[in-house]
């Protein structure tokens, strides 16, 4: 049976206080409890550490050697606890964050100057993957996932949601016209994703009766399966194609809101659009306590990402 840190603490306190009674008072324990802990420690070690007399305690030779080691262990434990506490007050160390390139470019990178000013001792490593990464395999601390989460052992923190819209550039619409129906849309040049296939099902329905704002997502809701004229693996590539006037795309507000405000992209088919919102979550592994640098990043982003 292995020795516990509680038993080490009892042993060191008894020696420092000079008696079991004084040690019990300092530790807030009963005299009998401290005496049993000391006896249990000696039984585990199969050696006497202390000679007890009616007046005082005397360390044996083995006790003197064990006391030095016990002090070193308790000092190291205290130092480790203080280091963690300091880390929470002033987070430091490497923090690797992974997100799809559009979210990284539009929602994370623009805020990292402010984040680094607040937490200068955190070393950021930002990676972009269009597909879901294995956090352990890639040594990622936090990954941003857009869309419904799969069943997972990961912890998740919601950052918000982002609406999908069908958009085209003013130049494209001026040249090819704005479609008013789904049949008309099918005749246009459509920009789609290479994978996964469900991203090429746009939230559009016939009849102009879109789902009301805030209505729960319904997997049975009609969607238009498009046949793309060109495909790409990254939403940012789709955005650039739409901006250049290549064709029509269905993209999330988090990457196109500024384009719409500045009239670089124009939302179309609003009367047929289902109010579909993609959830955005930060996922991470959590042990007994969440590392300070991970927690402060989640808190920082939750207050700054506008979706």
Q: What are phi and psi of 136, to 5 degrees?
A: -70, -45
How far apart are alpha carbons 275 and 165 in whole angstroms?
9
Same domain, 57 and 82: yes
Q: Are residues 153 and 295 in the same domain?
A: yes
In a domain, 307, yes or no: no
Whether the pLDDT of residue 218 is over 50: the answer is no
Distance CA 50, CA 277 (A): 70
128 and 32 within one domain: no
User: What 8-state DSSP symbol labels residue 25?
Assistant: H
Decide if 55 is inside a domain.
Answer: yes
Same domain, 169 and 272: yes
pLDDT at 289 over 50: no
Q: Which residues contact 171 (CB under 8 A, 6 or more apart)?
A: 245
Closest CA to 12 of 23, 1, 3: 23
- pLDDT of 223 higher than 90: no
Look at residue 32 in the predicted model and tell me its pLDDT: 92
Assigned token pair, 141 = 């601390």
Q: Rounded to an integer, what distance in angstroms lies between the CA atom of residue 284 and that of residue 153? A: 9
pLDDT, position 149: 81
Distances (CA, A) of 92 to 19, 119, 226, 268, 297: 43, 8, 47, 46, 12
Judge contact between 154 and 135, C-beta under 8 A: yes
| pLDDT, tens digit, 9 for 90 and up, residues 35-87 | 999 899 889 888 999 887 767 788 999 989 998 899 889 888 877 766 666 55
Q: Are the beta carbons of 39 and 45 closer than 8 angstroms?
A: no
**Residue 56 belongs to a domain:** yes
Q: Are residues 167 and 262 in the same domain?
A: yes
* Rounded alpha-carbon distances, angstroms, from residue 160 to 6, 43, 154, 241: 45, 58, 18, 26
- pTM score over 0.75: no
Secondary structure tally for the chain: helices H, strands E: 12, 13
Looking at the structure, do residues 215 and 229 belong to the same domain, yes or no? yes
Q: Which of 69, 89, 109 is the last residue of a domain?
A: 89
Residue where a domain terminates, one of 38, 66, 89: 89
Say if residue 199 is in the same domain as residue 257. Answer: yes
Question: Cβ(166)–Cβ(269) under 8 Å?
Answer: yes
DSSP category for residue 107: I
- We report the CATH number of the domain holding residue 104 as 3.40.190.10
Residue 149 lies in a domain: yes
Mark whether 250 and 290 lie in a shared domain.
no
pLDDT band at 88 (very low <50, low <70, confident <90, very high): low
pLDDT digits (tens, 9 = 90+) for 160-183: 888 999 999 999 999 999 999 999
Q: Are residues 56 and 196 in the same domain?
A: no
* Residue 111 sits in the same domain as residue 217: no
The boundaries of the domain holding residue 149 are 93-159+280-302
Name the domain count of the chain.
3
Question: What does DSSP assign to residue 19?
Answer: S
CATH label of the domain that carries residue 9: 1.10.10.10
Q: Stretch 119-129: mean pLDDT, rounded?
A: 91
């Amino acid at each position: 049976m292995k020795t516990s840190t509680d038993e080490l603490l009892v042993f060191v306190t008894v020696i420092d206080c000079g008696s079991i009674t004084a040690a019990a008072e300092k530790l807030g324990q009963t005299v009998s409890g401290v005496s049993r802990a000391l006896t249990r420690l000696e039984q585990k070690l199969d050696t006497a550490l202390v000679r007890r007399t009616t007046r005082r305690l005397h360390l044996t030779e083995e006790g003197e050697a064990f006391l030095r080691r016990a002090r070193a262990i308790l000092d190291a434990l205290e130092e480790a606890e203080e280091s963690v506490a300091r880390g929470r007050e002033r987070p430091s160390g490497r923090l690797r964050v992974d997100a799809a390139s559009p979210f990284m470019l539009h929602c994370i990178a623009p805020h990292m100057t402010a984040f680094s000013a607040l937490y200068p001792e955190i070393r950021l490593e930002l990676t972009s993957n269009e597909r879901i990464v294995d956090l352990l395999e890639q040594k990622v601390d936090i990954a941003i996932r857009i869309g419904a989460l799969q069943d997972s052992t990961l912890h998740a923190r919601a950052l918000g949601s982002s609406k999908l819209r069908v958009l085209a550039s003013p130049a494209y619409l001026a040249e090819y016209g704005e479609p008013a129906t789904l049949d008309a849309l099918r005749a246009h040049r459509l920009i789609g994703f290479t994978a996964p296939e469900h991203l090429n099902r746009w939230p559009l329905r016939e009849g102009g009766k879109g789902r009301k704002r805030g209505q729960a997502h319904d997997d049975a809701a009609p969607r238009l399966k498009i046949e793309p004229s060109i495909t790409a693996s990254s939403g940012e590539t789709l955005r650039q194609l739409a901006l250049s006037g290549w064709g029509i795309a269905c993209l999330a507000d988090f990457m196109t809101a500024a384009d719409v405000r500045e009239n670089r992209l124009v939302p179309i088919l609003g009367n047929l659009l289902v109010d579909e919102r993609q959830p955005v979550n930060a996922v991470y592994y959590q042990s007994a306590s969440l590392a300070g640098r991970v927690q402060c990043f989640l808190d920082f982003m939750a207050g700054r990402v506008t979706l």
